[in-house]
Amino acid sequence: MNTVIITLKKEISRAEFVAGYVDIPKFAGCCMRCKGYGRTWACPPYDFDVSDFWNDCSSVLLYGKKVIVPQEMLDKVYEPDELKKAYYGLLKPVKRDMLDELFDMERQYEGSTALSAGGCDFCEKCARLSDKPCVHPEKKRYSVESIGGDVVKSLKELFNEEVVWASDGRLPEHYILLGALLKK
Ligand code: SF4
């Protein structure tokens, strides 16, 4: 099964991104309603001020992957647990590879910070659930949304891309993972 993956990349100034695509209170509220809230060290609540991320950078390099769902998967109607398995099977390796690419960019741009697409899933069970420190701080990165970035609006206005969802047991035509590199 061949999966088509398209890279999305666009750099804009910090001022433009913060003015148009950052809403910290809105996304703090969204995170509080998420079932992952407080379950990993890469998700809120945080013991730092998320606005520091935006204040400390000069530009935002948005970096994402659009994953075209193969036709044979689109043709199938999934039971709820199968749908979840198909979703993770398709996206998890793409998310890992994308974060590796962002780590390479971090090394390339001194003082930069990578943001991931979605929560941290490096460990089977996050150490936060046992009240222990993160065991892979070198791999843990916060997601764009968790520090107030509006991924859906960024995709729509900056890439002309729509976020679409699974429905009635069917996968959507595509998924989009959007991370970023905050450059010093
Ligand atoms: S790397 Fe592991 S311990 Fe650290 S935040 Fe991610 S899941 Fe939790």
Residue nearest to atom 3 of ligand 1 (CA): 134
Write out residues with Cβ below 6 Å of ligand 1. Answer: 40-42, 120, 122-123, 126-128, 134-136, 139-140
Confidence (pLDDT) at 156: 98
pLDDT digit string (tens) for 52-70? 999 999 999 999 999 999 9
Q: What is the pLDDT of residue 74?
A: 96
Q: What is the pLDDT of residues 64-118, one digit of tens each?
A: 999 999 999 999 999 999 999 999 999 999 999 999 999 999 999 999 999 999 9
How many domains does the chain contain in total?
1
**Which residue from 143, 149, 122 is spatially nearest to 134, judged by alpha carbons?**
122
Poorest-pLDDT segment among 20-24, 34-38, 64-68:
34-38
CB-based burial of residue 80 (10 Å sphere; 0-12 exposed, 13-18 middle, 19+ buried)?
A: exposed
Say what the pLDDT of residue 134 is.
Answer: 97
pLDDT value at residue 2: 80
Q: To test ligand 1's pocket by mutation, which of 40, 96, 121 has the most ligand atoms within 8 angstroms of CB?
A: 40
- Model confidence at 41: pLDDT above 80: yes
CA-closest candidate to residue 3, choices 94, 83, 115, 95 = 94
* Six-digit token string for 104: 């390479």
Average pLDDT over residues 13-17: 97
Where in the sequence is the domain holding 142, given as residue range(s)? 4-183
- The distance between the two most distant Cα atoms of the chain, rounded to a whole number of Å, is 47
Ligand 1: which residue has its CA nearest to atom 8? Answer: 126
pLDDT tens digits along 149-181:
999 999 999 999 999 999 999 999 999 999 999
pLDDT confidence bin for 27, thresholds 50/70/90: very high
Annotate the chain with DSSP letters as a single string: -PPEEEEEEEEEEHHHHHHHHB-HHHHHHHHHTSTTTTTSTTSSS-SS-THHHHHT-SEEEEEEEEEEPPHHHHT----HHHHHHHHHHHHHHHHHHHHHHHHHHHHHSTT-EEEBSSS--SSSS-GGGGT---S-TTT---BTGGGTB-HHHHHHHHH-------BTTB--SEEEEEEEEEE-
Can you say how many angstroms the Cα of residue 105 is from the centroid of all Cα atoms in its chain? Answer: 16
pLDDT for position 1: 72
Sign of CA dihedral 19, 156, 27, 12: negative
